[in-house]
Amino acid sequence: MTEETALALPDRLSIDPRSPHHNPALMQRTIVIFFNGRERFDVEEYCISEGWIKVAAGKTVDRRGRPLLIKLKGQVQASVR
């Protein structure tokens, strides 16, 4: 088993450590997200099968100081560099 197959990307992944979809081992790697054919650098969470990403809504934060997220729907592709 190679390192690439050992760290295969899941269908859904989040950078928020409080999320059940957070994977600290994968956060050590450089994950590239393509949304509608363009590389995105601001993705907080993605789901490939449902076809959406969550990104911060500008500089707006909630009452706990975390950024407000908006969901964008489209074609999602993820890979490891």
Task: Report yes or no on 81 lying in a domain.
Answer: no
Q: Is residue 80 part of a domain?
A: no
Distances (CA, A) of 46 to 7, 13, 54: 17, 6, 6
Domain span at residue 33?
3-74
Q: Is the pLDDT of residue 4 over 50?
A: no
Number of independent structural domains in the chain: 1
- 5-41 burial code (b ≥16 CB/10 A, e <16): eeeebeebbbbeeeeeeebeeeeeeebebbbeeeeee
* pLDDT tens per residue across span 42-56: 999 999 999 999 999
Q: Does the residue 69 lie in any domain?
A: yes
The pTM score is 0.85
Residue 40 maps to a domain: yes
8-20 pLDDT tens trace:
899 999 999 999 9
pLDDT the model gives residue 6: 46
